Amino acid sequence: MADKIATRAAYGDALVELGAKNDKVVVLDADLSHATMTMNFAKAYPDRFFNAGIAEANMVDMGAGLSTMGLIPFCSTFAMFGAGRAYEQVRNTIAYPKFNVKLCMSHAGVSVGEDGGSHQCVEDLALMRVIPGMTVIVPADANETRKAVFALADFQGPAYMRLCRLASPVFEDDQPFEIGKANVLREGTDVAVFACGLMVSESLEAAKLLEKDGISAAVINVHTIKPIDATCVTEWAQKCGKVVTVEEHSVIGGLGDAVADVLMGKVACGFHKIGINDQFGQSGKAPEVLAEYGLTAPQIAASIKASL
């Protein structure tokens, strides 16, 4: 892994690159373009950028309307506002009519840090996952974010992508990206660790720590929460006999439940979820907040070891 880059920064750069190749791409923001990094697109293509102001529901409705004209809208703001405040518009104006709108929301999870629990959205994956027909993606690093942006532009239908404020390690760019297909980053025999977003790099580091204790952990990057790669999940659960999910999201309704839905009644295996345990976030430096909720590599390794 090389330098650290925030997935929101990679998103901003990818939009500019995509905009040069596809003139149907338009970008909308709700007065947070300097934080979501859509300001890059605004500078490059001012005629294709729309600032809705602090009116997230309006932004979502504008995106819906633009999609009916054959355009490909990418709508961005903080996850708390785009998935939370505008939920009814996302559900009824985009998902219900199956409009081709891409909801790419930044500043998700407790790694938002100092903004505190009011802004640290730990429910967005659950909210979006439950909407019929909504595709849900959580890229693990900058390279995957770029690939996801281009894949979403080619994908027909409503989709939600979760992005983070905190810079995270960038993996070597040799992994394929296909919506609905997980990537096995490390093979193992004792436990299958399914992770998404920032927790992928933490899980890989945790696996190295576990190896020192003689525990062989497979690490699978589940970048698409819905539709989840049921074949991959089933295969590795059967191989290892023990499953752990790791997410910077509530343990209710997110990756853990998506994996459990695949396995329940089909594969006999141990199962343990690591995430936010029915709590709100709190203000603090991002690394310290992650540690408070047990989401650092040493803590993940200890939790996995205790669950075996």
Active site residues: 56
- The closest of 247, 250, 238, 243 to 279, measured between CA atoms, is 250
CB neighbours of 103 closer than 8 A, spacing ≥ 6?
A: 60, 63, 75, 76, 82, 83, 90, 94, 128, 158, 159, 160, 161
Peptide bond into 139 cis (omega under 30): no
Stated as kind and residue range, the H or E segment containing 184 is strand 183-186
Q: Yes or no: say if 103 and 158 are a contact pair by the CB < 8 Å rule.
A: yes
- Which sign, positive or negative, has the C-alpha torsion 23, 28, 31, 37? negative
- The alpha-carbon radius of gyration of the chain (Å, integer) is 18
